Structure 1
C-alpha cells in the first residue's frame, strides 16, 4: 500500500543504506567511516579521510603515497575553465556561482570518458575544486592565479594557491581538521541531491554540480559568514549581553546555534573549538578566542531561558567561522571551502549509489483542484486567474 502521509523535507524517512557516516542527534555523536569524528578529524590528513570514504579502510603508507600522487595529478585546470573563472571574476559573481561554473566544466581536458572510470572522475573532482576556488579568488582580487604544487598536501596547497605564500603549519593543521570534520554528514541536502542525480545514471560531474547548487543555499552552507560578522561586531562593541538581549527580543535568529538533527551540542563544534583554541594560542591571539568562548556560553544560557522547550546548542557553523577566519580563509569563501571538504563525501555517496542503484522517486501529495472545466482562450476572463488584479 502506498504511503500518502506527508513528510515535509523527507524528515524521518530513510532512503539509502550507507557505510560512510552515522549521526546520533540525541546523543550528539557523529561517526565517519567507522571512526568517531573526534578520533578522525585531528589525526588524519584530508587525503586519508577521502581514501577511507572511497575504500572503507585507511590506506597503508604506500597506498597513501600513491593516492596523493593521483590526486595531485588532477589539480590543474584547463584553459577553458580558467577563461570561465576570469569572466566570473570580472562580473563579480558569488564564489559559489563561480564554483558551480567551474565544476560543470571540470571534465574538460580530462580523458576519463568511460562510465567505468567514475572513480577517476571522483578523484578529479576532489582535486580540482580547491584549484577552482583559489583561481577564481585570485582573479577576483586582481592577482594572477597560483599554480598548484605537487609537494604540498591538499590543505596546504589550497592555502598556498589562495595566498601565494608558504602556508603556516598551524594554519594547515587547523584547516585540515576542518576539512576532515565536515567531509561527510549523513544524507544532508547537497548529498541527497548528488545521490538523486546519480540514481538516474547521470555522471559524477553533473551530480557534484547539483550538490554545489544545493550547498549554496543559506539554509545549508551559508551560515558561517553571518556568524563571523556577528562575532566581529560584538567583539568590537564589547557588549555581548546587549546584543543577545536585542536579538532575542526582536525574535531574530542567533546565528551558529540550533541544528535540524542535533538536540545537544554539535560534535563537530566540539572538534573545531579545540582546533580553534590551539590555532589562536599558537598565533598569540587568545583574547579573541576567549571572547568567543564567553559569548558561546552566554548565548547558550540565554537561548535556554528564551526557548526552554527547544534545544538550541552550538552548531558546526559557530566554530567554523572562528577557525576559518583565523587560518586566513576570506569570509566570501567560507561556503566554497565547505565544498572543498564535502566533495569527498559527495563522490563517495555517488559511488555508493552506483553500486546498488534504484532511481530516487518520492511521492507528492496533491492538494489542487480536480473538477475544472476547459474554457476556450477567447472566452476566459482575467478574474479566472487567482493572481488577477482586483483594482
Structure 2
C-alpha cells in the first residue's frame, strides 16, 4: 500500500500516535477522537506508554477522509448528472435551451411536454386516455377512503395503469413515449370529478379543471391553469426528479419511475408547499392583515410559505410569469392583494421574493379550488418532466446512481448484543 504523500506503509508494523496523526493529516487529539467514535482501534504500546494503530486501518481512514474532502463518490457513482432538459441560470430557466416562461406563454402543456421528450413541437397535440386503462385506474382510485389526498390517488392510479399494460417493461424510446402519452391523461381522468360538466377529452388543463373546481371555467382561468402546468413541467434535479432517475437507473419501467416521483412530491418542502401557502392566504383574507398571520408562523418556528427559493437570488421566474396572468383575472384580485401583503410584511424581517408556490396558491384560491389543488397541479405537471428524465437515464449505464455510504459506526468486530 502507498499513501500519496508518505510513501509505502508496512502492513505488518503498527503506527505510533504521532505517525498515525501525520498519515491522517490531523492532530494527535483527533486520532483519539477517531478511536472514541469507533473509526479506529488502538492498543497500548509495549511498556504501557502511548498507543499503537493498525497501519492498514489508518490508511483506509485516510483514503475515506480524502474522498469526503474532495467531494467525490465511490468508484462507479455519478454525482453530477448530465442532462439536456433544463438549465437554470441567472434567475431564468430553459427547456432544451428555450426560455421556459416563453414556452409556457405560447404553448399548451401537452406541446411543452412533447418538446421536453423529443425536442420537437407538435402544435395542437392532445393526450387521449385509453378506456381500459382509465377504467382500471378509476376503480382503484374509487376504492380509496374518502379522505385520501391527491397524491394518494395519483399513486394508486399510476400503479393501476401499469397493471393494465403488459408491455410496460419495454424501455425503448417509442414505447416509453407511448406510455407517457397514456399515463398523464389517465392520472387526470382517474381523479374524481368536481364540476358537473367534467371532461375526459380536449385540452388537459380543461380535464384537470373539472377535477379541481366546481365553477364553470372561463378562458382566463383555464389559460392560467395551462400556463401553470407548463411552467412546472420540470425544474432540473428536484428531489422527486432525482428519485425518478434513481428508479430509471435501476431500469424500473416508466410507471414505476413516475411512482417514485409521486412518493416524494407530497412533501411539504416540495410539491405540497403551495397548499401551505393557500391556507395562509385564506387566513390573511379572513383577518384582513398579513401581520398576525406571519407572526404566528414565525412564533411556531416555521418558515413563511411561498417565499424564497434556493436556486434564485432574485424573483422566481415561474412566479413572475404566473402572477402576470393572475393580474388580468378580476376574481384573483383578493388573493393577489393578500399575497402582496404577505411579501411586503415578510420583507421587514427577511428580503425574500415570492416563489411559484405562492403564485400557485393565488391561482387555486381564486378559482375556488381546495388547498390540495396546488399539489395535484404540481404532480400532474411534473410527470412530463419525470418521463423526460427517465428517458435520459435509460440511455445511461445501468445502476450508475449507486453511491457507497461512508460508514461512521463502530468498527467491527463488535460482540454480539445480549
Q: How does the TM-score come out when normalised to structure 1?
A: 0.80
Aligned to 1:371: 412
> What is the match of residue 82 of structure 2?
17
Contact in 1 for aligned 2:319/2:359 (Cα 8 Å): yes
Q: CA RMSD in A?
A: 2.8
**Equivalent-residue separation in structure 2 for 1:361 and 1:328 (angstroms):** 44
Partners of 1:349 and 1:75 in 2: CA distance: 27
Matched residues in 2 for 1:345 and 1:163: separation?
25
Of 153, 160, 178 in structure 1, the residue corresponding to residue 228 of structure 2 is 178
CA distance in 2, matches of 1:249, 1:299: 13
Evaluate the alpha carbon distance shift between residue 264 and residue 338 of structure 1 in structure 2; reply closer, same or farther with a 3 A threshold: same
Tell me which of 157, 162, 187 is aligned to 1:129.
Answer: 187
Higher RCO structure, 1 or 2 (CA under 8 Å, sep 6+): 1
Change (3 A) 1:160 1:235: closer
Residue 167 of structure 2 aligns with which residue?
A: 112
Q: Which runs of 4+ in 1 moved over 6 A?
A: none
User: How many residues are matched?
Assistant: 345
Greater Rg over alpha carbons, structure: 2
Could you report, residue by residue, the CA deviation over 1:259-309 in whole angstroms, capped at 9, with x for unpaired residues?
A: 232222211111111122122x3x3x53442332233233234323xxxxx
Point out the more displaced range, 322-331 or 48-57. Answer: 322-331
Q: What is the deviation of 1:80?
A: 3.2
Asked if 1:4 is matched to 2:68, the reply is yes
Displacement of 1:167 after TM fit?
3.2
- Measured at CA, do residues 250 and 93 of structure 1 come closer, stay the same or move farther in structure 2, by a change above 3 Å? closer
Gaps of 5+ in 2: 1-62, 73-77
Residues 1:233 and 1:210: Cα distance change in structure 2 (over 3 Å) = same
Q: 1:353-387: per-residue Cα shift (whole Å, max 9, x none)?
A: 11233421123221100134333x7xx1xxxxxxx
CA deviation after TM superposition for structure 1 residue 329, in Å: 3.1
| 1:267 corresponds to | 317
Q: Give the SS at the match of 1:221.
A: coil
Q: Deviations over 1:13-33 (max 9, x none)?
A: 952111211112xx3111123
- 1:6 and 1:256, CA in 2 relative to 1: closer, same or farther beyond 3 A? farther
**1:202, CA displacement in angstroms?**
1.5
Aligned pairs (5 A) from 1:68-217: 68=126, 71-74=127-130, 77-90=133-146, 92-110=147-165, 112-113=167-168, 114-116=170-172, 117-132=175-190, 134-135=191-192, 138=193, 146=198, 148-149=200-201, 152-162=202-212, 167-217=217-267
SS at match of 1:313: coil
Change (3 A) 1:373 1:163: closer
Q: By percentage of residues, which structure has more helix?
A: 1
1:341-352 to 2 correspondences below 5 Å: 341-352=381-392
For the Cα contact (< 8 Å) 1:268–1:315, is it kept in 2? yes
Cα distance, 1:38 vs structure 2: 2.5
Q: TM-score, normalised by structure 2?
A: 0.75
Give per-residue Cα distances to partners, 1:229-254, cap 9 Å, x unaligned. 11111222122233334544554311
Asked if 1 retains the 8 angstrom alpha-carbon contact of 2:335 and 2:365, the reply is no
Aligned counterparts of 1:236 and 1:17: Cα–Cα separation in 2: 47
Partners of 1:95 and 1:267 lie apart in 2 by 26
Task: Name whichever of 164-173 and 343-352 sits farther off.
Answer: 164-173
Q: Residues 73 and 96 of structure 1: is their aligned pair in 2 closer, same or farther, counting only changes over 3 Å?
A: closer
CA distance in 1, matches of 2:187, 2:413: 50
Between the aligned partners of 1:147 and 1:89, the Cα distance in structure 2 is 24
Partner of 1:385: none
Verify: 1:286 aligned to 2:286, yes or no: no
Post-superposition offset of 1:156? 1.2
